[in-house]
A and B are shown apart, each in its own frame.
Chain A
Amino acid sequence: MITEWILDTLIRALAVGTPLLWAALGEIYAERSGVINLGVEGMMILGAFFAFAVAHTSGNPALGLLVAGVVGGASALLHAFLSVTLRANQYVSGLALAMFGLGLAGVLGRGWEGIPLLNTLPEISGLTYLGVVLAVVLWFVLYHTRLGLVIRSTGEAPAAADALGVNVARVRYLAVVFGGILAGIAGGFFSVAYRPSWTEGMTGGTGWIAIAIVIFAGWDPLRAVWGALLFGALYYLSFRLQTWIAPEALRMLPFAFTIVALAATSRRRRGEGAPEALGLPYASGEK
């Protein structure tokens, strides 16, 4: 009984952990390049809606995910334009993107609610395994390749990278858009696999948890795997324990833990903290 319960929890943790991992991996790359994108929730919900709409119309859930990635990338491009080219405040721009995404998905999604999806993807699908493989690949690229060195340098000291001929703006654009693509796919997972349907706000704050995982994982793609699993379990438990504990209290669980995790990881040794130039716009030739 109890082993069954634990096993069940683990499987469900993997299921919710999948979109958390994808979104967190994308955000890690964006933040490593020096751009924080708080719009993950917005990019995910847009991805969720478009994945559902395309999967429903075409009957192909994989195509839905693909379109979700494109939509996520496109919305991230907006954030990149605001924060890299216009050098707007990254936090404000990201928050705006989150609100904008939720609102737009809500408007577009009217009339789509309650429609069942015939062709779906399994909860534990290739996306889960692919997520882990992706984490390993992204880890290797980040720490052991020229591209990774360029991305990390851009996030740590853009002026130093610039002086050596690195195109800081281009690196940041690419990293942010890449993050958006992963966030879009993560959102799509909700509507074509996890709960194959469309409901407004169905990503349920997982975008914010993904951002917490990034910090929890110390901006390391490999450690994000464990973070996603942990938060996935918490997220699932917040539904499972409803028989015993008030659902309102439980719904706070992942977010309460986010606060705890942030408090616990705020004092880190050097070399583990946030990229030094995170959140700071960069313009060549300025001091």
Chain B
Amino acid sequence: MLSLRGITKTFPGVLANDHVTLEVRSGEVHALLGENGAGKTTLMSILYGIHQPDAGEIRLRGRRVHIRSPRDAIGLGIGMVPQHFLLIRRHTVAENIALGLPGERFVRPARRIEPRVRELGARYGLAVDPRAAIWQLSPSEQQRVEILKALIRGAQALILDEPTSVLTPQEVRGLFDVLRRMKQEGHAVIFISHKLDEVTEIADRVTVLRRGRVVATLPIAETDKRSLARLMVGRDVEFQVRKAPRTPDGDALVADNLVVLSDRGLPALRGISFSVRRGEILGIAGIAGNGQRELVEVITGLRPARSGRVRLLDHEVTNLSARALHEAGVAHIPEDRMLMGIVPAMSVAENLVLKQYRYPPFSRGPVIDRQAIAQFARRMIAEYEIVTPGSDVPARLLSGGNIQKLILSRELSGRPEVIVASHPTAGLDVSATEQIHTVLLQRRQRGAAILLVSEDLDEILALADRIGVLFSGEIVGIVSGAEADRERLGLMMTGQRV
């Protein structure tokens, strides 16, 4: 039905797509698999009219088409559900769907499409209240709105970009039911993912991209997880990081009845208590926006606690400043690398000493010792295998994985007692993820207490000794890592105590 032939696209310095050919049939779920930077998103941006290809052609039902804008794509029956939803949070579901819809009447356009929203919702299993405001909806419901937006515009081919990253395991199953129904109705679905389990479950065929090139297109029945991983990464992959057994020592970090307000002044944490022991990883699972950010910020000194206490190795540290906490032995690997982790315009070396620059040997009195800093930077770059042209280039030029290694090496160089890691591998490829997991496990082995906040259940299950689930500012329960499974955690993530 839809074919992209010989698509080539270069961005300054990067060959994002190199003669990519992709054939998608009606009534199939076609997975597009690849690591970050493999060119999946670029390819789909070309198909959706956001970028123009340097070479190659797109054919729809045998006819050559030129897609110059998303509007053209919509007109040709191509829909896209972006990874970061493009919804107007304050408007209702119906208003979001009615916006820009051709042929809608002038007065009360949203009111008239409500029955159609309900009808399509029932047909595909995408139930959502058309009059609800977007901000009231869960990520899963917001995703349904995005799918409905595309369907109501007559999308025959639907692109879903990393659609499961915001969903619980139960919600993933719901989404897969929707995709199967769409398949039956004759739609073509392009499913972008780097999660092998999901690809093998839902896809009929899979196209694997590596470094901008197609390495294979296969029916899913003729392949398996291991060979897909090899195609994707280019070498064999360890699925399970080796976790050595370790008996935790005494409590390192204790939170007692913490109440913390969100930016909007509403309670984000409603009296939570937990402890992390030395030599232990406590995983915090949950859907984004249930208090994770506030939890990380209160422990690292970036947000005041309204009430409750935080204790670090038997010292009261509640509401100390970020610097005081760092000096007391708390390392922070922040959720937003570019925004909170580094100063993008400053050099790699400068970023490496952002927390220690005030002390010898990096400074003597008010004067900074550049040589000592450069020397330290060279050591860190070697030790953590940070790939950079040099220690004096701006940190923003590094890839996501190398920026994260930079942050890790800076935060861990002071031998912290407690490591607060927030989404440490979000958006990183398989190799970088592996390295970061290995470093965290090493630190656990050496006796650090690690609080690992992540939306990636696989990561939590692989690393954590105990797992706490946050829902709506409360800890629904803490289960031992050995006994936890996806099902149970998924239910807890929706607030059910099991």
Do A and B come from the same complex?
Answer: yes
> Chain A contacts of B99 at CB under 8 A?
149-150, 153, 160-161, 164, 166
- B367 on the interface (CB 8 Å rule)? no
Q: Which residues of A contact B88 (CB under 8 A)?
A: 152-153, 156-157, 160-161
Which of these, B86, B90, B91, B104, contacts A146 with CB under 8 Å? B104
Whether B245 is near chain A, meaning CB under 8 Å from some CB there, is: no
Distance in Å: Cβ of B281 to nearest Cβ of chain A? 33
B264 at the interface (CB under 8 A from A): yes
**CB of A139, distance to nearest CB on chain B (Å):** 13
User: Is B90's CB under 8 angstroms from A156's CB?
Assistant: yes
CB-CB nearest in chain A for B74: A165
CB nearest to A144 among chain B residues: B108
B110 at the interface (CB under 8 A from A): yes
Indicate if the CB atoms of A157 and B89 lie closer than 8 Å: yes
Chain A residue nearest to B102 in the complex (CB):
A165
Q: How near does chain B come to A238, taking the closest CB pair, in angstroms?
A: 34
Tell me what chain B mostly uses at the interface: helix, strand, loop, or mixed: loop
**B88-120 contact mask (Cβ, 8 Å, vs A): 1 or 0:** 111100011011110011111110000000000
**A110 part of interface (Cβ distance < 8 Å):** no
Interface residues of A in 196-231 (CB under 8 A from B): none
Q: Is B133 located at the chain interface by the 8 A CB criterion? A: yes
Interface contact B91-A159, CB-CB below 8 Å = no
A-B contact count (CB 8 A): 71
Q: B64-79: which residues lie under 8 A (CB-CB) from chain A? A: 69-71, 74
CB-CB < 8 A to B313: which residues of A? Answer: none
- Residues from chain A with a CB closer than 8 A to the CB of B491 are none
**What is the chain B residue whose CB lies nearest that of A160?**
B86
Question: In the complex, are the beta carbons of A159 and B109 less than 8 A apart?
Answer: no
**B265, A267: Cβ atoms closer than 8 Å:** yes
Closest to B45 in A: A285
Chain B minimum-CB-distance residue to A272? B90
Find chain B residues with CB under 8 A from A149 CB.
Answer: 91, 95, 98-99, 109-110
Q: Are B135 and A146 in contact (CB under 8 A)?
A: no
Count chain A residues whose beta carbon lies closer than 8 angstroms to a beta carbon of B.
23
When chains A and B are docked, how far (Å) is the Cα of A147 from the Cα of B110?
Answer: 12
Interface class of chain A by DSSP:
helix
Indicate whether A160 sits within 8 Å of B87 (C-beta atoms), given known contacts A149-B98, A166-B99: yes
Flag if A145 contacts B108 (CB, 8 Å).
yes
A114 within 8 A of B: no
Interface status of B255 (Cβ within 8 A of chain A): no
Q: Is the CB of A276 within 8 A of B108?
A: no
Query: From residue B236, how far is it (CB to closest CB) to chain A in Å?
Result: 35
Tell me if B215 is interfacial: C-beta within 8 Å of chain A: no
Shortest B462–chain A CB gap in Å is: 30
Most buried by B among A152, A162, A163, A270: A163
Taken together as a complex, chains A and B put the C-alpha atoms of A147 and B100 apart, in Å, by 10
CA A267 to CA B95, docked complex, whole Å? 26
Q: What distance in Å separates the Cβ of A129 from its nearest Cβ neighbour in chain B?
A: 24
Q: Does A126 belong to the interface (CB within 8 Å)?
A: no
Residues of chain B from 5 to 56 with CB closer than 8 A to chain A in the complex: 50
Residue numbers in A under 8 Å from B89 (CB-CB): 156-157, 276
Q: How far is the CA of A264 from the CA of B335 in the complex (A)?
A: 34
Q: Report whether A146 and B74 are in contact in the complex, using a CB–CB cutoff of 8 Å.
A: no
- Which of B100, B106, B109, B135 is in CB contact (< 8 Å) with A164? B100
Residue of B nearest to A165 (CB): B71
A111 within 8 A of B: no
In the bound complex, do residue A146 and residue B265 qualify as a contact, i.e. CB atoms below 8 Å apart? no
The distance in angstroms between the C-alpha atoms of A267 and B69, with both chains bound, is 39
Q: Is the CB of B90 within 8 A of A271?
A: yes
**Is the Cβ of B100 less than 8 Å from the Cβ of A165?**
yes
Complex Cα distance A159/B149, Å? 15
Assess the B106–A147 pair: CB atoms within 8 A.
Answer: yes
Contacts of A145 in B (CB 8 A): 106-109
C-alpha gap A131/B234 in the complex (Å): 69
CA distance A267 to B87 in the complex (A): 24
Contact B91 A153 (CB under 8 A): yes
Residues of B contacting A160 with CB < 8 Å?
86-88, 96, 99
B150: min CB distance to chain A, Å: 11
> B104: which A residues are within 8 A, CB to CB?
146
Q: With the chains together, A87 CA to B109 CA distance in Å?
A: 31
Whole-angstrom distance between the Cβ of A283 and the nearest chain B Cβ:
13
Q: A161-B99, A161-B100, A165-B74 are in contact. Are A270 and B107 (CB under 8 A)?
A: no
CB distance from B51 to the nearest CB of A (A): 8
The answer to whether B70 touches A146 (Cβ under 8 A) is: no
Per-position contact with B for A232-273: 1 when CB-CB < 8 Å, else 0? 000000000000000000000000000000000001001100
Contact A157 B110 (CB under 8 A): no
Q: Is the CB of A159 within 8 A of B50?
A: no
The contact of B264 among A146, A162, A270, A271, by CB within 8 Å, is A270
Q: Which residues from chain B contact A156 at a C-beta distance below 8 Å?
A: 88-91
**Chain B: minimal CB distance from A191 (Å):** 37
Distance in angstroms between the alpha carbons of A157 and B82 in the assembled complex: 15
User: How far is A152 from B90 in the complex, measured between Cα atoms in Å?
Assistant: 10
Contacting residues, chain A, for B86 (C-beta < 8 A): 157, 159-160, 163
Q: For the complex, give the distance between the alpha carbons of A157 and B135 in Å.
A: 13
Question: A152 — which chain B residues lie within 8 A by C-beta?
Answer: 88, 91
Docked complex Cα distance between A172 and B312 (Å): 53
Residue of B70, B99, B110 most packed against chain A (CB within 10 A): B99
User: Which residues from chain A contact B107 at a C-beta distance below 8 Å?
Assistant: 144-146
Q: Which of A144, A153, A165, A276 contacts B70 (CB 8 A)?
A: A165
> How far is B103's CA from A146's CA once the two chains are assembled, in angstroms?
11
Q: Which residues of B contact A144 (CB under 8 A)?
A: 107-108
| Contact B109 A146, beta carbon cutoff 8 Å | yes
Give the shortest distance, in Å, between A174 (CB) and chain B (any CB): 16
Digit string of A111-151 for contact with B (CB within 8 Å is 1, else 0)? Answer: 00000000000000000000000000000000011110110
Bound complex: CA of A271 vs CA of B50, how far in Å?
31
Q: How far is the CA of A159 from the CA of B87 in the complex (A)?
A: 9
Kindly state the separation between the CA atoms of A150 and B86 in the bound complex, as whole angstroms: 15
Find chain A residues with CB under 8 A from B50 CB.
285
Query: How far is A164 from B95 in the complex, measured between Cα atoms in Å?
Result: 12
Asked if B133 contacts A146 (CB within 8 A), the reply is no
Q: How far is the CA of A96 from the CA of B106 in the complex (A)?
A: 37
Q: How far is the CA of A112 from the CA of B104 in the complex (A)?
A: 52
- Which A residues touch B108, using CB under 8 A? 144-145
Tell me how far the C-beta of B68 lies from the nearest C-beta in chain A, rounded to whole angstroms.
Answer: 12
User: How far apart are the CA atoms of A270 and B265 in the complex, in Å?
Assistant: 12
User: Contact between A146 and B106 (Cβ–Cβ < 8 Å)?
Assistant: yes
B70 touches A270 (CB 8 A): no
On whether the beta carbons of A157 and B109 are closer than 8 Å, the reply is no
> When chains A and B are docked, how far (Å) is the Cα of A152 from the Cα of B96?
11
What 11 new A-B contacts, CB under 8 Å, besides A161-B88, A271-B135?
A: A144-B107, A144-B108, A146-B104, A153-B88, A160-B87, A163-B70, A164-B74, A164-B101, A165-B69, A267-B265, A270-B135
Q: List 16 A-B contacts (CB under 8 A).
A: A146-B104, A147-B106, A149-B95, A149-B99, A150-B99, A153-B95, A153-B99, A156-B90, A157-B87, A159-B86, A160-B86, A161-B100, A164-B100, A165-B69, A271-B90, A271-B133
Nearest 8 interchain pairs by C-beta: A164-B100, A165-B71, A160-B86, A157-B88, A146-B109, A156-B88, A165-B100, A163-B86
